Structure 1
Amino acid sequence: MARLFKFFRSKKPTDQSEEIFDTIEMATAVLLIEIARADFHQDEYEDKKIIELLEVHFSISHADAQSLFEEGQKKADDAVSLHEFT
């Protein structure tokens, strides 16, 4: 039993928090994309606004925000439901 407690205490929380941050970024991107698609019409203005929001909110470069948006679109296309992003 003591070995079990030692095992859980030895895990580094920083690795986990980094994964959560990446997950939060992706979930935010996917949910914003799905909101833009809700009216069955997604235009260039909405795409630019989503990229801008990602850039400002997460303090990332425009290129990183663009990349996050593109990856988010792929995940949104492949998603069966939004549950995994909430």
Structure 2
Amino acid sequence: MLERVKQFFSDLQGSEIQQTQIDMKLAATALLVEVARADDNRSHVEQETIFKLLKKHFELSDAETQELLTAANQQSDESVCLYQFTSTIKKNASREQRIKLIQGLWVVAYADGEVDPEEEATIRKIADLLYVSHSDYIQAKLKAAS
């Protein structure tokens, strides 16, 4: 009996970790989508860039990547602010992971060859909400630009 209780809590903890990873993927994807939408110009190049970033970073199949993108677009449509996404990441991601996300946001912004002021403002706001220092923000921007 005691062994079953231990197993139950072990399974519960494992599923919480898995759910946190899913939530972080969805939150990160939603932030990438928010940057692409910031300039009111949803370019195909930016959408393709997001797809490639997700597939490579999260090691997903095409179908899994599309499913994640669809869910993130829906979440983004229903969202009224960035906080719900940034709070999930801030609580669960390391400093390096948060900086890497900012770099990914810059990659999306640069994808169409032009960084709109609205895209830059959105990335700055996200960086602030994630407590990414200005120095790390600039370094991420420079890495993405090269």
Question: TM-score of the superposition, structure 2-length normalised?
Answer: 0.50
Deviations 1:42-70 (A, max 9, x none): 11111111011111000010111011111
Cα distance between partner residues in 2 of 1:29 and 1:76: 9
Cα distance between partner residues in 2 of 1:19 and 1:36: 26
Root mean square deviation of aligned Cα? 1.5
Structure 2 residue aligned with 1:34:
34
Alignment partner of 1:71: what SS?
Answer: helix
Structure 2 residue aligned with 1:48:
48
Map residues 1-20 of structure 1 onto 2, 5 A cutoff: 11-12=9-10, 13-20=13-20
Cα distance between partner residues in 2 of 1:72 and 1:59: 17
The letter of the residue matching 1:83 is: Y
Identity %: 30
Q: CA deviation at 1:11?
A: 3.2
Structure 2 residue aligned with 1:66:
66
Structure 1 residue aligned with 2:78:
78
Structure 1 residue aligned with 2:22:
22
The letter of the residue matching 1:68 is: L
Q: CA deviation at 1:37?
A: 1.0
Q: CA deviation at 1:27?
A: 0.4
Aligned residues, how many? 78
Identify which range, 22-31 or 35-44, moves more after superposition. Answer: 35-44
Deviations 1:19-56 (A, max 9, x none): 00000110011000001111121111111110111110
Structure of higher RCO (CA pairs closer than 8 Å, 6+ residues apart): 1
Cα distance between partner residues in 1 of 2:70 and 2:45: 15
Cα distance between partner residues in 2 of 1:67 and 1:45: 19
